[in-house]
Amino acid sequence: MLRILAILLFVIIFVSFETSIFPFFSLFGVTPDLLLILVVIWGLLRGSKEAALLGFVVGIIEDILSSTLYFHALSKCLIGLGSGIFAQTLTGVGPFLGIVMVSIMTAASFFIDGVLLYFFLGHPVPQFLSLSIILFLSIIYNSLLTPIVYPIVKAFSLRLGEPEVSESFPLIRRNL
């Protein structure tokens, strides 16, 4: 129970930074997605089960704050699951891999969000040029922030102890 409370407090701190400080660093309406970075790094360090669960919790918090219904929860859950699955095929995880994965998952998040907006809410997909500029700025922002966030999340993860080994995808092994 104490472990869950510690994780929730950690998430609330990240949510506080994203909602109160990062809007001041907006460039053309684009701000870093600190919660996406948290979920991706968590997936690399802790595995797909924990990252999917953390992504869902983070997404629910985002949905409550933005008044959308389960939109962010599904998106962040899929991002956590994807980064955790990818991490299972690796032997070592470091800050550089974190930057690469955050970049890939930022693009994946844009794709997932676009699909969810189109199919569930009926929003049209923005024009390619404006979407590509926003995506490019988001990738740059998130990639620049990852080397700062990675050691913080890693230190917190180490304080929690060893992650449970994910058996949800038994065909994927760390020693491939």
d(CA 126, CA 35): 23
pLDDT tens per residue across span 126-160? 665 567 888 899 999 999 999 999 999 999 999 98
Is position 10 within any domain? yes
* Host domain of residue 105: 2-160
- Measured from the Cβ of residue 168, the count of other Cβ atoms closer than 10 Å reads 13
Q: How many domains does the chain have?
A: 1
In a domain, 43, yes or no: yes
pTM for the whole structure: 0.85
Q: Is the pLDDT of residue 103 over 90?
A: yes
Q: What average pLDDT score do residues 66-75 get?
A: 81
Confidence of residue 52 (pLDDT cuts 50, 70, 90): very high
100 in a domain, yes or no?
yes
Residue 166 has pLDDT above 70, yes or no: no
Q: What distance in Å separates the CA atoms of residue 10 and residue 7, rounded to the nearest whole number?
A: 5
Is residue 172 domain-resident? no
Cα–Cα distances in angstroms (integers) from residue 132 to residues 10, 76, 137, in the given order? 32, 21, 9
144, part of any domain: yes
Q: Which whole number is the average pLDDT over 11-29? A: 89
CA-based max dimension of the chain: 47
Band the pLDDT of 94: cuts 50, 70, 90.
confident
Residue 134 sits in a domain of what CATH number? 1.10.1760.20
CA–CA gap between residue 109 and residue 132 (Å, rounded)? 13
In whole angstroms, how far apart are CA 14 and each of 53, 90, 92, 150?
16, 27, 25, 13
Give counts: helices (H), strands (E), the chain.
6, 0
> Is residue 10 within 8 Å of 160, Cβ to Cβ?
no
Q: Is residue 27 part of a domain?
A: yes
pLDDT mean over 13-26: 90
pLDDT computed for residue 148 by the predictor = 94
Task: Give a yes or no: residue 88 inside a domain.
Answer: yes
